[in-house]
Structure 1
Amino acid sequence: MLRVTKFIFSLILFFIGYQTLMYLSGNEIHIFFRELVAEQSVGLLKFLGFDALLGCVGGVTSGINLGRSGILVVAEGCDGVDLLALFAAFAIAFPGPWKHKFWYVPLGLLLVHAFNILRVAALTILADYNIEVMKWNHKYTFIILVYSFVFVLWFYWIKKFAVPHAKRKMA
């Protein structure tokens, strides 16, 4: 019971801190990540041989253009910030040795960010192919894939580090 209370308390503290940071930054964090995701997605698309261009939308360099589809915009919900916070919150709040959290959380954040870059690049290709196919995949396929990926990272944390750590403490 104490572990559950500690976990919930840790999550509440994390989300209060996260919301405070978002409020105090005044959207700067989202703008930074929107631009970063757009730039890195364009870099990936160019590496794959596509003629991708970065575009400015509403004063933020968060648009990606492949030609036929117009500009695909990396919006606030697609920048990955909330997903990164969600991953970090559960990994930090869940029991486990801090020596592993110090490397696992940053590695997990990098992996989630990289997965988001792949997602945005794939959606850009789909938008160039067929905008309706892109919209459907954006709404369903990639939501399932992204959250499944984060779930696998959490599950790995729980099985590899949190549960063995909890068993050692009980013994």
Structure 2
Amino acid sequence: MNWLKSQVGQFVLKVIGIYFCWYLIYELWLLPEGSLDAWLTTNIVSVSAGILDYLNYDFFAYERLIGIDETAGIYLADGCSGIAAIGLFIGFVVAYPGEWSSRIAFIFFGVGIIYLVNVARIVTLAITQAYWPKMFGITHDYSTTAIFYMVIFVLWMIWANYGSVDSSQQQVAVNN
């Protein structure tokens, strides 16, 4: 039980508590209500369509559906918005020590990166469905998901190594 009193134990307990609260808020209120997921997924489809257009693909996009050529397209369900992953990322950053001003700035930066990675994920899935349909399931379930969570891990590591150090500690490090 001593590990619960350690910095690592306190961090783990904070992450679990924050994520549990986020999960309850998301699962019991935001997801059933649906407007946040609907807005975000249609926005992701719109931006992904812009990228496919820029890359000269013959695509279609309507609300939560996007595809290339004559494919059935992919439908972005509520879980595809990335909101749960954003909650996980925010939980890591909030649970780890640091100045609140830099923490909030990093949260906005990280959420932007996660959003862009999710857009790239949807573009990749649309292209995979059109040209390598047998690989779609693997790409959806494993490849893009693994990359998505690796980005969240890298962002958290950046925060843990650089963002969490307050200015007084940085000044001491510079003077030594």
Paired with 2:27 and 2:6, the residues of 1 have a C-alpha distance of 30
Change (3 A) 1:143 1:10: closer
Percent of pairs with identical residues: 20
Residue of structure 2 equivalent to 1:37: 44
Task: Please tell me the residue identity of whatever aligns with 1:15.
Answer: F
Paired with 1:145 and 1:14, the residues of 2 have a C-alpha distance of 21
Structure 1's unaligned 5+ residue stretches are 56-60
Residue of structure 2 equivalent to 1:19: 24
Aligned pairs for 1:58-77 within 5 A: 61-77=63-79
Q: Tell me how large the CA RMSD over aligned residues is.
A: 2.2
Q: Which residue of 51, 73, 76 corresponds with 2:58?
A: 51
- Residue 158 of structure 1 and its aligned partner are, at CA, apart by 0.4
Count of residues in correspondence between the two structures: 162
Change (3 A) 1:140 1:6: closer
Q: Equivalent residue of 1:53, what SS? A: strand
1:121-158 CA-partner distances (Å, limit 9, x unpaired) = 01101101122212111111111111111111101110
- Residue 34 of structure 1 and its aligned partner are, at CA, apart by 1.5
Residue of structure 2 equivalent to 1:120: 122
Could you list the structure 1 runs, at least 4 aligned residues long, displaced by more than 6 angstroms after superposition.
none
Task: Please tell me the residue identity of whatever aligns with 1:63.
Answer: L
TM-score (norm 1): 0.84
TM-score (norm 2): 0.81
